[in-house]
DNA sequence: CGTGCAATTGATCCATTTCAAGGGCCGTGG
DNA sequence: CCACGGCCCTTGAAATGGATCAATTGCACG
């Protein structure tokens, strides 16, 4: 999966891709690429992006900076991820995107995208689903407000692992994890010190093995349970399983939250 | 603004609407409406929504429930807001939507939306911008992870006030605030007790006046400064002001976060 | 072999949670 | 008309998860 077809792999999670679409995607990402070094900004807040970018390889992240200097990482961009499709509506970025590792990018011009959409309408649908998936991830990150340190970090690791698996970047129960503990801290709203101690706690009970930028999850199911992770929000299943009927107006919401204590034991 | 043109008011924040578009929107929201009582669910997690919904009046909220019963409010839906435009790609809801007050809804069928888009292409753009705005709000909520209680609550109040003002639902520096302190707590990842004490603190220094479900912000600028709120992420300015040029690759990110203490004094 | 960054550790502090209870208000029913 | 229950807001005291401050270690690299 070191090839240029990472975007194909990514979009295949959303729709069935035919030969024609696959080629169209490959061509799209080959036209104009660019390399950015590690720990640099790709786009700053206030910029007006002319392109839609595709991460071909490497890790990046979105972040916002508060006036007093605090920074919050609001999402990670993995190979196969695009940003920002809403750049089609040329507007100022309200956040920045920076790299963690060296990153290879494809720049898709808006005209070429429109053209590809016209020739392959399913591509437009795939892009829309990609956007919807990104939105779902963002919502899930909001839920971190209700989580403690173990849950936040465990949830993040589950999410990253599964997203990497979706583009074939895992090896068994292992994957690269090029982010530092300080990155995790800035993403989860914790201090690096506390992230460190929390990781040690999780290691000590065997939930994770994390060393030299490689993450191993011995028992993904166990980790998911321990931190109440459910992958459904990632919508990586081609979205074909409708369950309940909608429009059941008037049902009452479930009871309020009950007290809780982390279940790492 | 009690009329049916609330969606017109909302979308006018994103694009210039001509006579034709205004009428098209009005018709769209008049075709099929529905009333839902207070504190009820409109859509549950797992449902497959057939419509795009427009809040014509009243307040609703999106929420997710964890397996152990904890609940996190991930966003508020105010008059003029739509949910979920991505329902066009019929998929399971990964979260629920419930009402706070009684809510009047318009249900837009997917065919009618497509039809309206064909007749008025600018409408499609307006909808896309609405989606992009919702996404931006979701990102901003992620930043709450980096904020303390005063900042979270103050930020929320600023956001709600300005969003209401954008659809003419404020009166001077006042607006209705039908949510309870427990709602604020579930939205901001705090306990109701702490929300209570924090509100008292903010009242005591004159940042807000909040009583009987009415919020008054004596000095919006002062509140914004106190909690580091910037409204740019709401993209309510027709997005016409491009500033900097993009593509300045290779610039270094700003320095790491500096220590911080709330500035409510 | 210093220099710098990431991970780690210890000690202390504090913002927020937890637990428990009381007060005000309002609609309803006896 | 008043008692009652329910919801929301409020208050107090004690407990704690995570922050803060300050070093120290380990390691890659020029």
| Intra-chain end-to-end CA distance of chain A, in Å | 38
How far B6 CA lies from chain A's nearest CA (Å)? 22
Protein-covered nucleotides of chain C (CB closer than 7 Å) are 5-11, 15-20
Query: At B194, which CATH number?
Result: 1.10.10.10
- Asked if the model's pLDDT at residue B264 lies above 60, the reply is no
Tell me, in Å, how far CA of A154 is from C1' of D24? Answer: 28
Q: Closest protein residue to C17 using CA and C1' atoms?
A: B191
3-class DSSP assignment, residue A93? coil
Q: A49 and A117, same structural domain?
A: yes
Asked if the Cβ–Cβ distance from A68 to B260 is below 8 Å, we say: yes
Range of the domain at A47: 6-143
Give the model's pLDDT for residue B88.
74
Residues A135 and A13 grouped into a single domain: yes
Q: How far is the CA of B39 from the C1' of C28 (A)?
A: 20
A216 in a structural domain = yes
Full pLDDT tens readout for chain A, 265 residues: 445 699 999 999 999 999 999 999 999 999 999 999 999 999 999 999 989 999 999 999 999 999 999 999 999 999 999 999 887 777 889 999 999 999 999 999 999 999 999 999 999 999 999 999 999 999 999 999 999 999 999 999 999 999 999 999 999 999 999 999 999 999 999 999 999 999 999 999 999 999 999 999 999 999 999 999 999 999 887 644 433 444 445 555 554 443 333 333 3
Based on the domain organization, do B10 and B105 belong to the same domain?
yes
Q: A248 lies in a domain?
A: no
Same structural domain, A170 and A118: no
pLDDT at B251: 58
Domain presence at residue A85: yes
Q: How far is the CA of B138 from the C1' of D13 (A)?
A: 37
Q: Position of tokens 């609703």?
A: B60
Instruction: Kindly report the CATH number assigned to the domain that includes residue B54.
Output: 2.60.120.10
Element (H, E) at B98: strand B96-99
pTM: 0.91
Which residues in window 111-150 of B are less than 7 A from strand C by Cβ? 148-150
Distance B158 CA to D18 C1' (A): 27
Same structural domain, B106 and B157: no
Quote the minimal CA–CA distance from B209 to chain A in Å. 25
Q: Name chain A contacts of B245, Cβ cutoff 8 Å.
A: 47-48
Instruction: Give alpha helix (H) positions in B77-191.
Output: 110-119, 121-142, 149-166, 181-188
A253: in domain: no
pLDDT band at B220 (very low <50, low <70, confident <90, very high): very high
Q: Which nucleotide, over all strands, has the C1' atom closest to the CA of A194?
A: D18
Q: Hey, are the CB atoms on A257 and B70 less than 8 Å from each other?
A: yes
Determine contact, residues B154/B199, Cβ cutoff 8 Å: no
B15 and B89: one domain? Answer: yes
B69 with A42: Cβ contact below 8 A: no
**A28 domain residue, yes or no:** yes
Q: Of A134, A147, A158, A249, which to mutate for an interface test with B (greatest number of B Cβ within 10 Å)?
A: A249
Q: B155 and B109 in one domain?
A: no
Rg (CA), chain A: 19
Are A117 and A101 within one domain? yes
Minimal C-alpha gap between A260 and chain B (Å): 7
The CA distance from B41 to B53, in Å, is: 13
Whether B16 and B83 map to the same domain: the answer is: yes
Are the beta carbons of B251 and A44 separated by less than 8 Å?
yes
Q: Does the beta-carbon distance from B74 to A41 stay under 8 Å?
A: no
Whether residue B254 is contained in a domain is answered as no
B11 and B116 co-located in one domain: yes
Instruction: Please state whether strand D lies within 7 Å of residue B199 at its CB atom.
Output: yes
Nearest CA in chain A to B228: A67
DSSP state of A45: T
Q: Per the CB < 8 Å rule, is A128 touching B88? A: yes
Average pLDDT, chain B: 90
Cis-peptide, bond into residue B96, ω within 30° of zero? no
Is B191 near strand C, with its CB below 7 A from some atom of it? Answer: yes
Cβ separation of B44 and A136 shorter than 8 Å? no
Find where tokens 């099929």 sit. Answer: B32
Q: Do B55 and B80 contact (CB within 8 A), yes or no?
A: yes
Run of H or E residues at A70 = none
Strands of the sheet containing A209-211, edge to edge, are: A170-171, A174-176, A214-216, A209-211
Token pair for residue B138? 């979701």
Distance (Å) from the C-alpha of residue A20 to the closest C-alpha of chain B?
A: 22
User: What are A95's two structure tokens?
Assistant: 């956040």
Cβ contacts (< 8 Å) between B186 and chain A: which residues? 146, 257
Segment B75-130, tens digit of pLDDT? 999 999 999 988 777 788 999 999 999 999 999 999 999 999 999 999 999 999 99
Tell me whether residue B251 is in a domain.
no
Task: Single out the residue in A143, A163, A195 at which a domain terminates.
Answer: A143
Q: Residue B84's closest chain A neighbor by CA?
A: A132
Number of folded domains that form chain B: 2
Confidence of residue B249 (pLDDT cuts 50, 70, 90): low
**Do A131 and A32 lie in a common domain?**
yes
pLDDT digits (tens, 9 = 90+) for B144-187: 999 999 999 999 999 999 999 999 999 999 999 999 999 999 99
Are A152 and A123 in a shared domain? no
Return the pLDDT at B250: 54
Residue B245 has what pLDDT? 42
> Is B90–A50 a contact, with Cβ atoms under 8 angstroms apart?
no
Q: Is pLDDT at B225 greater than 50 in this prediction?
A: yes
Query: Which residues of chain B neighbour A69 with C-beta distances below 8 Å?
Result: 254-258, 260
B255: left (phi over 0), alpha (psi -120 to 50) or beta: beta
- CB-contacted nucleotides of strand D (7 Å): 7-13, 17-22
DSSP three-state, residue A48? strand
Residue B240 lies in a domain: no
Count of all residues that appear for chain B in the document: 265
Q: Do A255 and B48 touch (CB under 8 A)?
A: no
């Amino acid at each position: 999966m070191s090839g240029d077809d990472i975007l194909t792999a990514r979009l295949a999670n959303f729709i069935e891709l035919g030969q024609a679409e696959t080629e169209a995607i490959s061509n799209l990402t080959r036209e104009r690429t660019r390399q950015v070094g590690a720990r640099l900004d790709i786009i700053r807040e206030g910029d007006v992006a002319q392109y839609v970018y595709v991460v071909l390889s490497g890790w990046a992240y979105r972040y916002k900076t508060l006036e007093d200097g605090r920074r919050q990482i609001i999402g990670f961009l993995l190979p196969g991820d695009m940003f920002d499709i809403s750049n089609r509506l040329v507007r100022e970025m309200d956040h920045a995107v920076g790299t963690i590792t060296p990153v290879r990018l494809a720049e898709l011009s808006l005209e070429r995208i429109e053209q590809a959409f016209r020739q392959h309408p399913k591509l437009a649908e795939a892009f829309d689903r990609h956007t919807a998936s990104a939105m779902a991830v963002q919502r899930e990150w909001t839920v971190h407000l209700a989580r403690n340190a173990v849950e936040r970090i465990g949830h993040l690791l589950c999410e990253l692992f599964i997203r990497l698996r979706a583009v074939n970047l895992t090896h068994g129960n292992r994957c690269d994890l090029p982010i530092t503990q300080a990155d995790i801290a800035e993403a989860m709203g914790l201090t690096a010190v506390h992230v460190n101690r929390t990781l040690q706690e999780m290691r000590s009970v065997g939930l994770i093995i994390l060393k030299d930028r490689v993450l191993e999850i011995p028992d993904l199911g166990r980790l998911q349970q321990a931190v109440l992770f459910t992958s459904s929000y990632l919508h990586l299943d081609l979205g074909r399983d409708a369950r309940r009927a909608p429009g059941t107006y008037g049902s009452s919401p479930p009871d309020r939250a009950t007290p809780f204590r982390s279940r790492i034991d």
